[in-house]
Amino acid sequence: MNTQNELIQYLLRLGDSALVQGQRLCQWCGRAPALEEELALMNVGLDLVGQARNWLDYAAELLDDGRDADHLAFRRDERAYRNLLLVEQPNGDFAVTMLKQFLYDAWHLEVLKGLAQSSDERIAGIAAKAAKEVTYHLRRSSEWVERLGDGTEHSHQRMLEAIPLLWRFTLELISGDDSENHLHDAGLIADPAQVASAWQARVTQIFTSATLPLPPAPSHFYLDARRGLHSEHLGILLAEMQALPRAYPDATW
């Protein structure tokens, strides 16, 4: 695979992850535990959808096959998606949602900080803007993990139950592949090893503050989103998200 094709796959990974996580957060509309939290969740979700648009726009330009960002978002099947396995997992309760958001945010911010130094000016510009938004996302999700973990006996127990539901999916956050290492060597993306190290340090810090046990790093998982091997949850989510564009493919607004 040449550098441009590797970059396209990486842009899809960024865009798909932001889009799927944004879609998950928007599923909280009308269901959040408080009005202020509903507004915050929707704002974070909208930030991520906007970031997804920027990454998918660039991927579509590099593909140059007639597809645009909307086509990439709404006309691909699940095997063509490259999002992190973590973000496609169901929302669960509020503890699961906030832990998942934190684990993603801690990775996302480190990736964006590295991308802001990319030799590709388009990538650097998108990442610099997105990093400002994700700094807020991480601050908010970190505070919720600490509040729930070191809160009441009930909230602590909810967090303990959330960890094993999500932890196995963090393997992708700390394991780069040959393609990512190649893109880093070309000066295009963040160093996967540095991202993994910073992510582990951040998670250790917040889990300690939240009085939560830190599980050992996962070492193997049979799914691989980089190759389009997803959990059963993504297909259901895409069916919901893509229903209208697929039913009316030529509609204009």
Per-residue pLDDT of the chain (253 residues; tens, 9 = 90+): 699 999 999 999 999 999 999 999 999 888 878 888 889 999 999 999 999 999 999 999 999 999 999 999 999 999 999 999 999 999 999 999 999 999 999 999 999 999 999 999 999 999 999 999 999 999 999 999 999 999 999 999 999 999 999 999 999 999 989 999 999 999 999 999 999 999 999 999 999 999 999 999 888 888 899 999 999 999 999 999 999 888 888 777 6
Comparing C-alpha atoms, which of 137, 134, 136, 159 is closest to residue 209?
A: 159
Alpha-carbon span 173 to 226, nearest angstrom: 12
**Exposure class string for 118-137: b at 16+ Cβ within 10 A, else e:** bebeebeebbeebbebbeeb
Residue 229 β-bridge partners: 224
The residue type at 210: A
CA dist 88 → 22, 183, 186, 196 (Å): 10, 25, 30, 20
Overall size of the chain counted in residues: 253
For residues 183 and 189, the answer to whether their CB atoms sit within 8 Å is yes
Give the H or E element holding residue 65: none
CATH number of 3-213+230-247: 1.20.1260.10
> Does pTM surpass 0.75?
yes
